Amino acid sequence: MAQTKILLIHPLGYKSENAKTDISRKANIMPPLGLAGIAAYLEQSCIQTDIIDCYAHPESDAVIKTYLKNEKPEFVGFSCTTSTFLDGIRIAEYTKKITPETKIIFGGVHVSALKEKILQLYKVIDYVVVGEGEHTLYQLLSSKPADFENIKNIIFRTKMGEIVFTGYRKRLIDLDTLPFPAYEKLAGYPECYKLPIFNYPKVPNASCISSRGCPYSCSYCDRSVFKKSFRYNSAQYLYNHLKYLKEKFNIRHVNFYDDQFTFNRSRVEKFARLMIKTPLNMTFNCAARAEHLDLELLKLMKKAGCWMISLGIETGDESLLAQHRQNPDLSMMRDKILLIKEAGIRVKGLLMMGLPGESEKSIEKSKAYVFSLPIDDFNLAKFTPFPGSPIYKRIKEQGQELGAFNEDWEKMDCMQFVFIPKDLTKEKMEALFIEFYQSHFQRAKVLLGYVSMLWKSPDSWIRFMKDFVGFIKFAFTNKRM
């Protein structure tokens, strides 16, 4: 009996010829960790799995077409964000032309949020996997159509054409039972993948996720995949994962993409003590909420190799912040940033412009607040109301009362203003955005900070100088060049 075979694809999201000049892509190429994790899970269950990452390798159409002709996989699966979804549809359509019998499966945040609507709009898709993918996808690939109604977390069409959502799985995976992601299935790993410049000290480096979900309910966050659940790997699993990355790929720095790395204090303490007791000669970054940081923990993390912590500031206008997240305490945020600096760890502030309720005055408040903080780096995103987030539903229901929303999925990548708050214009938002970045880079202490990266992150400077003009334009416009 032939082994079941699936090709997993991570779409690029736009025309491949634009990738060479896309500075945002050059600045940060993150591996598709979700697909790598699913591949590892399926392989241990005797399902042959391959991955093609179009984002890391933009000229992948020819590779995909050759694979389809030679391998004739029974299934092709796509993991898509909102902005990459339509590119996934494009690939799915030519897949059906080359191998008509291949079944097309879509998963990820976008389809998990829109559910049945996806199959209503796109006939090329055979199945949708909603939420957590590993066990659901295994069951789907291993079952006959007559049994699909017994598989939770899938959407499919019956023989009569009825679209059926089977409901949510009640039992979620224990993350410590999962194998490490199949990094070796990512062509060119780790060299093809890059963390943001000035966000790491050494190469090669890597990305890692050690938890799923978030215990908070911010208006702008998509909750469609993990709902209100929050789970995390144990400290020992986390240490073993880093040890594996070091021994197999010589990784020297890891960026944890968890929403709340420090939420469980005891886990982080145990992990830090493992890193101190038996050093791996690795450093790491993480993201945290200010509420879950204290000086004792920060000093321990520093000793364990913590190089930088990212904090979601979002906006420097406390009244605006209160409309969108819990505990909008900017004084507390400032105090925790000072503690991070006291511990000797770099700080990156994460902000967004254009939330519902935003105004010129609130943007000025954000700028003043951020510039008063001793942060080392910051990222200013253009607010995007993603399907699956509470604010998306509000904007769809209240319409012009909150602002103008152009729901163009391909532009919903946090680098373009698709939502314009009431009483503002897109032109004004773009001008304020550019002015924010220009003001940042014109400050002497910011320039000196980047100069210090010559010895703190020499590889970042090499990358920066190779694409100097592009990076400068990107910093001031946040647009693909």
Which one of 141, 165, 189 terminates a domain?
A: 165
Residue 171 located in a structural domain = no
Q: Do the domain assignments include residue 182?
A: no
Half-sphere exposure (Cβ direction) of 256: Cα atoms closer than 13 Å: 29
Q: Are 135 and 214 part of one and the same domain?
A: no
pLDDT at res. 42: 97
**Residue that is last in its domain, among 165, 188, 213:** 165
- 413 shares its domain with 457: yes
Q: Are residues 145 and 207 in the same domain?
A: no
Summarize pLDDT for 167-188 with one digit per residue, the tens: 999 888 999 999 999 999 999 9
Residue where a domain stops, chosen among 123, 146, 165: 165
Q: Please, is 447 exposed, middle or buried when counting C-beta atoms within 10 Å of its C-beta (0-12, 13-18, 19+)?
A: exposed
On whether the CB atoms of residues 234 and 154 are closer than 8 A, the answer is no
Instruction: Pick the closest to residue 292 from 234, 353, 214, 239 (CA basis).
Output: 214
384 in a domain, yes or no? yes
**Structural domain tally of the chain?**
2
Residue at 191 is within a domain: no
Instruction: Quote the pLDDT of residue 469.
Output: 66
Q: Do 346 and 472 fall within a single domain?
A: yes
- Residue 178 resides in a domain: no
Which regions of the chain are under pLDDT 70?
Answer: 1-2, 227, 468-481
Q: Is the Cβ–Cβ distance between 3 and 47 less than 8 Å?
A: yes
User: Which of these, 294, 182, 175, 194, lies nearest to 233 by C-alpha position?
Assistant: 175
Same domain, residue pair 104 and 249:
no
Same-domain pairing of 351 and 457: yes
Burial class (CB in 10 A: 0-12, 13-18, 19+), 359: middle
Closest by CA to 286, choosing from 257, 326, 315, is 257
Is the same domain home to 423 and 290?
yes
What's the confidence (pLDDT) of residue 481? Answer: 40
**206 forms bridges with which residues in the sheet?**
254
Q: Same domain for 125 and 205?
A: no
Is residue 172 domain-resident? no
Long-range interactions of 227-235: CB distance < 8 A, separation 24+: 227/131, 227/168, 229/172, 230/260, 230/263, 231/172, 231/174, 231/175, 232/175, 232/258, 232/263, 232/264, 232/267, 233/175, 233/176, 234/176, 234/267, 234/270, 235/267, 235/268, 235/269, 235/270, 235/271, 235/274
Q: Are residue 155 and residue 243 in the same domain, yes or no?
A: no
Could you tell me if 111 and 49 lie in one domain? yes
What are the respective helix, strand and coil percentages of the chain, to the nearest 5?
A: 45, 15, 40
Give strand ranges (E) for 319-389.
346-353, 377-382
Report which secondary-structure segment, H or E, holds 342: helix 330-342
Domain that holds residue 393: 197-477
pLDDT at position 474: 58
206 vs 186: CA distance, rounded Å: 12
Q: Find, among 137, 141, 1, 2, the residue nearest to 71 by Cα.
A: 2
Domain-located, residue 190? no
Q: Kindly state whether residues 249 and 361 are assigned to the same domain.
A: yes
Q: Does residue 177 fall inside a structural domain?
A: no
> Residue 443 sits in a domain of what CATH number?
3.80.30.20
Planar angle of CA 15, 19, 23, nearest 5 degrees: 135
Alpha-carbon distance values, 200 to 209, 239, 252, 475 (Å): 17, 19, 10, 18
Q: Are residues 149 and 94 in the same domain?
A: yes
The pLDDT score that the predictor gives to residue 23 is: 78
